Every structure is written in structure tokens, then in C-alpha cells.
Structure 1
Amino acid sequence: MTSLRVLYAPRDIAGQPSTWARGMRALGVHAEVWSFGEPAFGIVPDRVWDADRLLAEPEYRWQVLDHAVRNFDVFHFQYGRSLLNAHEPLLPALWDLPLLRSLGKKVFMHWHGSDVRLRSVHMEREPDSYLKDAVVDEVRIHAMVEIARRHSDRMFVSTPGLLDYVPDAELVPLAIDAEAWRTERGPEPRVPVVVHLPSKRATKGSHLVDAALAPLHEEGVVEYRPLSGLSHSQVKAEFARADMIVDSLTIGDHGMVSVEGMACGAIAIAHVHERNRARVPGCPVVEAVGADLGDVVRRLAGDPDERARLRAESVAWVHKRHDLGTVARQLLDAYREPPVKVVADRPDWPVVEGRGRITALEAELSRLRQALGRQGDRAATVPPRSVRDRIEDNPRVHLLVRRLDGARKRARVKLVKMGALRKRS
């Protein structure tokens, strides 16, 4: 039993903080998950704070900070964001980390993916990199990691590949309630079901998956089911009937989809770079890239004995490495470590808005100027600022307009319902 009180904020990234909190509570630790703004994918945190009020009302931000400081000992932040920095227009990024440390709090930063991946590094190692056409502000990423490194007790990463970008972080495996996802499996089917459920199609290489598996579906080798936009319960139902699940082909790491699939007894297929496989020996995720995915799936479809072996190995792997109890104990050990002394090697705060951001803005300005061109015989001018632009410059007015717009929409819904009731009567 411990007296620690743990806060996970400011977002419930992929439902991981909620899972950690359940594991912590099972260990006798008080843990809560806060979300600034409504969470996605039907996730239900312990507390949701109004993101618009955080932006517009300093008193509201103070209420959040005061409540957090009074009620928690450990602050475990996500995705390069802290308790209030994303909603503070005047102070620098992650400004509250040293404040919390000065108040005797433990502070941890957890990196999850695109918050730390550097395009220059990723492109060298991944020929199908999802960052190929992306604009990544690497100066900003370096600065954010440097601030977190200097002012956190420890940093965590959620997948092995992220150690390429934050080598001094601790790898915390993706957590899942393994028993809750367990699925009873019957005999190996003649035509296996293959599911692809990306959070973002462009990020996961879905065009490569479709190109490889659509022909196999037409041949009757597999039943291919590309899915999207499902609730948490729907995902569990689909994974329970899936025989194979294709995760990302363009990142070099497997993600939560692979873990959930393996917990259900499905076979996970993804591209996992050999550097990352070496960091977690024995990982049962089947290797595939876009060029050979069709051959990999065809081979597995024709080998029911191999599928049965991989199913058993995958379930055992998830229970051993990814179960929420195992991950919670790892985190609790970190929370109990003595505080780390902050050593600043320079007095200035790193600049977060780096050259990458400036380059992207300059490119956008150039594109807009070119698009405007010339109108007849006179030079085109930049359009005047719109009413929306002027409203968004004033956070309080912006908040009022959003509230009025919400009230208008709710009134419209009520009118529609009343009209429907009149028609029935």
C-alpha cells in the first residue's frame, strides 16, 4: 500500500492513461485521468476540463492548477504537453514543469509517436515512411524534448522505435487489460478474416494494405475487412472474429492495434524494423512491408498449423509483457524513485517555435501569393481580415460566440424533435 496520488493529463492518449490508472488502483494507488477538451473514441476520463475556458479565463486555469497541486503527488504528462502550457498564451512551452517540481511534485513526460519522430531520421530507415510528404518542425521537437529532459524526473516512450529519438527514456510497453480481451477460438478457418483498422490511413500505409489484400479477397484466399470509425466495443467485436490484423507498414513499430489483436488471439502483422525487434526479443508480430504483404498473408492463409502456433504465442506474449498489472508495477517503481535534481546547463528557455515552423509558414505565404496572382491590370492584394479572424483574436469573445453557436444548434435540434412529435400525433 502507498500514499501516492497520481494524475494523468492532459489527454487520454489511445486510452493508455485510463489503463494505467486501473492498474494503479489495483495496487492501492489513487489515480485519476484528466482530459482538457472532450476525449475521442468514446474514452471516458475521470474529469474533463473545458478547453475553451482554459484558453479564455485565467481564473479557470488557476482553478485547474490549484486543484491539481492540492490533490496529487505525481504528474504523468503525455505527448509533450503539460498541465496548462497548451492553453497559456503568454508563457513558454512546458512552463509549469519547473513550477511543479519546485512544489515537491514528481513529474514524468511520456512520448507516444509523432510528438518526437524526426523526419530526417525516419526517412533514412523507412523507405515507405509516412513522413515522406510531411512538414516536421524538428527544431521544435528537439526543444520540447530538451525542456522535458531538464525538468522531468524521468521520460517514457511507448514503443521501441521512439528510443531512436529519446535514447535516455524508459520503454513502457503499451498496456492492455489482457484478460478482458481474451477470446475463445475454434478450429482454424479455411478462409481467414483479415482486418485493417488504422487510426489514420495515411499514417499506417493503408493504401499499401488495400493494394496487397484486395486481390486476395477477390480470389477467395481471405476475407479482407478494411474498417474505420469504430467505437471501443465495436473494435473488440471485430478483433474477436478476426484471424489476422494488419497494423502499420510505414512506421517501423507496431502499435496498439497489434497488442489488442494479439490479446484476442489474432495474428498481428506489421513492419517492425530490425532495430526495434532487437530491443524486444521474441516479439511475435509477423514482419511485412508493402511489397511482400500479399505473399505473407497468402502463406499464413494456407498454413493453419502456423496460424495456431502464432495465436498461442501472441496471447502469451501480451499477458507477459503488456498486461496492465505488469505495466502498472513498472510505472509505480519509477514513481517511487527519489526525485531527480534539475540541472540547467543554461539560463535561457529553448525556443520551441523553430526554423521548421518558420519555413512552413514562409512556404504557405509563397503559395498564397502565387494563388492570388494578378487580377486584371492591377496587383491582387491580401484579402481584409474576416470577422472570424477578429473574433478569434479575442479569447473571451471567441468563447462567447462558441457558446451562442452551441445554444443555437441545441435549439435547432429541439425544434426538429418537436416537429417530428407533431407529425406522429
Structure 2
Amino acid sequence: MLPSGLQALGIRTLRHVPDRLLSIGLPSRLRFDPWSVPTPEPRADAPVRVFVGPVNFAGQGWQWARALERNLPGVSAVSMAYSATSGYGFPIDIEVPASVYLLSGSWQRRHRTAVRSRFTHVILEAGRHLFGRAYDERVLDEIRDLQAAGVRVAMLTHGSDMRSPARHVAAHPDSPYGEWSLSPVLEAEAARNRALLDEAGVPIFASTPGMLADVPEAVWLPVVVDVERWAGGPTPLERARPVVVHLPSKAVVKGSDLIEPKVRRLHEDGLIEYRRVEGVPSAEVPGIFREADIVLDQFRLGDYGVAACEAMASGRIVVGNVDASVREAVRTTYGRDLPIVESSASEVAGVIRAIVADPARFRGVASDGAAFAREVHDGRASARAAASFLGVDA
């Protein structure tokens, strides 16, 4: 999240200082050359030119941009994100240092002019500011400015930006939001983005089917994984002691605290080898998944996202807690069942025992998962979902 309080006031003030003076006066870690950051440049001959930004969570802004270009005629797309500190190393077309994004008036003006004049469509992620003026301009003002230039705008929710913690707690017994200190902040953010959507009156996409509970008017835009990059691992459940991997991006949301004591007991009993992996660059994750037989996804949200799709594409057996409404959305939209083995946090030990006891059956589930990832999450379905907004034939 962006700075608030006195930090925000300081940023607001510094925005009025010329870049050449800022580059001298800022601490060395924040100094910048705004001219080193390129402006977005789609193919000029493409009739449909799409700008996606500004967050690229889990590398999805970049993945959607490539999916649109690969699968839709006459489309050029550019993704942009202000730099995060996660260190996961996701690909992006244009990465903007946070100091440039927030402080550089010259970059903000050049970036706005480029997007207004070079693009026909914008997909605005997570209700965030595209042009960096987070403290003296509303996102709604940016949307109206783009529309005045003839640019079509859609919003896109990644999850926590529009998921109501209060609604989620009421619907999910293992919801992470009940006692989480960030829940009031997230509730306010969800309400703010809901109000933005209502006032802007633009289309909205949701990256996961679980978000349709909060934004029922959204179009599901499936997350995209490079299935060839993830494929090629050994057949699961062929060793005497299966490897079970849990790779939580955020442990409180994934339910790591709920499942780990149960899974560690299975490890201590010798039934499985359990590996919890955190904080690794995205480039290392394919190898980690290929070494696994079973991947434990999440047990608190009732949804599935990028990590589950990557694990399915790897041909692993994926276990997680997925709401019936999410499974029905998959079935209704794509005519097939979601091949994630269902388990609540309390049931996870029994589910793992059942998998280990019936390897032939669950190798079939793993195979179904790889096929599902290829059909629903290789970018073709995402391009079809976006085609109507872009005014092109899928």
C-alpha cells in the first residue's frame, strides 16, 4: 500500500519540486532519472492498443498483455507497474521505480500524455492510480480524463482490493479476516473501490471466480500461466514417501497456521516429506513444484489463483479449499470440473492419507489438472473473456 499520513504529505509537497533538484536532495536510494523510464509504446499499426497497469500482481498484468497479443487479431498490449519490493522477479514491460511514480512530475506528465494519445483501451488494476498522482488526484479523475481522450477503460480486481472482509468472515468459517489487524484497512479499500466502480460506470474484470461474490457484475478474466514453462515434471506418487510442498505467498491468507501442525505430524510419522518454501524468486518455483508430488494451496479464501494454476500445469496433485460457488462457476463457464482436491484445513491430514493410499486415482487427478491449466489458464480463455470489451472477435 502507498504511504499515508505525514509521509503522504511529504510526497505531496515534493511533487512540486523540480526533478533536477529532487535528484540532488533525495537520499541515494530514492534518487532517480525520470528520463530513464520509457513511456509505453504499443505497435502503431495495431488498431487495438491496450495498456494494463499499474500493479502486475503475480506477473498477471504482463501475462494478460501477452495473452491478448497472442490470441486476438490486431491487438498490441503494454503492461506497466510501479516497482514493488517483493523481489519475486515477475516480468513486466515497463517497471517504474516508486520514487519516479510518486515524485516525478515530468514522468507523470509524459506517461499520461503517452497513454492518452497512444492507446485505445486501458485495463486499470486494483483501483490504483495509473499516473502516480496518488495524493492530489482521484482515480476517477484519471478515468474521466482517459475517456475524454476517447480511451475505453475497464477496471480489474485482483482480490483484496475489492473483497469485503466482513462478507468473507460471514461466509467462511476459516476466513483469515476475523482477527487480522489489516482487516479494517482492507474493508475500507474494498468499499472505496466499490464506490469507484459504481461512480465510474465502467466494465470490470475479476481475476478469480471467487471475486464474483463481491463483484457479481464482473467478467471473469482467468489468470494466465506459461504452461510450457511449468510442464515436464516426473509422474507424481511414484516414490515411497511422497513430497508435499506448501509455498505460501502470505501465510495468514493461505492458512499455513491451520494446516502445518497436521502436515508436520504426517512428516514425523514418515508418511510424507513436507517442505514449506517461502520468499523464493519466481524463477525457482517451477523446479520446486516439479520436485513435489502434492502441492497444498490455500485453506482460508475458498478460491484458487495463480499458484494453484502453476501447480496444476506442473502435473502435481493440488489440494485446497474451494467454495462450491467457485467450482460451479468453473463448470458453468468451461464445462468441466475444477481438478483441485477439496479439503478444509481441519481435514487436510485425512485427505493427504487418502491420496497416498490411492496413487493411481490421484495420478489421474494430476493429469486432469495439467489439461485444465492448458485449457483455461494458458491465455486463450482470458483473451476470449476480454474480446468484447476490446471490440474484437475472439
> Fold conserved (TM > 0.5)?
yes
Matched, 1:218 2:264: no
Matched, 1:156 2:156: no
Partner of 1:12: 56
Q: Deviations over 1:135-177 (max 9, x none)?
A: 3253552332232244254101111111111111111112112
**2: CA distance, partners of 1:2 / 1:333:** 17
Q: Deviations over 1:43-102 (max 9, x none)?
A: 231112232233233333111101221221111111121312x53322234320111111
Q: CA deviation at 1:184?
A: 4.1
1:38–1:251 CA distance, 2 compared to 1 (3 A):
closer
Pairwise mapping of residues 180-219 of structure 1 onto structure 2 (< 5 A)? 180-186=229-235, 188-219=238-269
Aligned counterpart in structure 2 of residue 109 of structure 1, from 147, 150, 155: 155
Partner of 1:316: 371
Are the counterparts in 2 of residues 269 and 287 from structure 1 also a CA contact under 8 Å? yes
For residue 77 of structure 1, what is the amino acid of its counterpart? L
Partner of 1:297: 352
**1: CA distance, partners of 2:355 / 2:80:** 42
How many residue pairs are counted as aligned between the two chains?
A: 337
Matched, 1:52 2:102: no
Segment of structure 1 superposing worse, 273-282 or 198-207: 273-282
Pairwise mapping of residues 22-421 of structure 1 onto structure 2 (< 5 A)? 22-27=66-71, 28-38=74-84, 40=86, 41-84=88-131, 87-134=133-180, 135-137=183-185, 138-151=187-200, 153-186=202-235, 188-281=238-331, 282-336=337-391
Aligned-pair identity in percent equals: 29
Q: CA deviation at 1:235?
A: 0.4
For residue 328 of structure 1, what is the amino acid of its counterpart? A
**2: CA distance, partners of 1:232 / 1:53:** 25
Are the counterparts in 1 of residues 162 and 189 from structure 2 also a CA contact under 8 Å? no
1:192–1:16 CA distance, 2 compared to 1 (3 A):
same
Q: CA deviation at 1:39?
A: 6.4
Are the counterparts in 2 of residues 38 and 48 from structure 1 also a CA contact under 8 Å? no
SS at match of 1:34: strand
**1: CA distance, partners of 2:221 / 2:311:** 19
Are the counterparts in 1 of residues 117 and 149 from structure 2 also a CA contact under 8 Å? no
Q: Deviations over 1:368-396 (max 9, x none)?
A: xxxxxxxxxxxxxxxxxxxxxxxxxxxxx
Q: CA deviation at 1:333?
A: 3.3
**2: CA distance, partners of 1:292 / 1:262:** 21
1:130–1:92 CA distance, 2 compared to 1 (3 A):
same
Q: CA deviation at 1:192?
A: 1.3
**2: CA distance, partners of 1:36 / 1:299:** 45
For residue 174 of structure 2, what is the amino acid of its counterpart? D
Partner of 2:27: none
Are the counterparts in 1 of residues 318 and 366 from structure 2 also a CA contact under 8 Å? no
**1: CA distance, partners of 2:84 / 2:190:** 25
1:200–1:14 CA distance, 2 compared to 1 (3 A):
same
Please report the RMSD computed on the Cα atoms of aligned residues, expressed in angstroms.
Answer: 2.0
**1: CA distance, partners of 2:62 / 2:189:** 28
Between structure 1 and structure 2, the one with the greater Rg is 1
**2: CA distance, partners of 1:77 / 1:174:** 15
Partner of 2:31: none
For residue 158 of structure 1, what is the amino acid of its counterpart? S
For residue 277 of structure 2, what is the amino acid of its counterpart? L
Are the counterparts in 2 of residues 158 and 172 from structure 1 also a CA contact under 8 Å? yes
SS at match of 1:167: coil
SS at match of 2:184: coil
**2: CA distance, partners of 1:122 / 1:270:** 17
For residue 368 of structure 2, what is the amino acid of its counterpart? E
SS at match of 1:94: helix
**1: CA distance, partners of 2:201 / 2:80:** 19
**2: CA distance, partners of 1:152 / 1:223:** 51
Are the counterparts in 2 of residues 11 and 39 from structure 1 also a CA contact under 8 Å? no
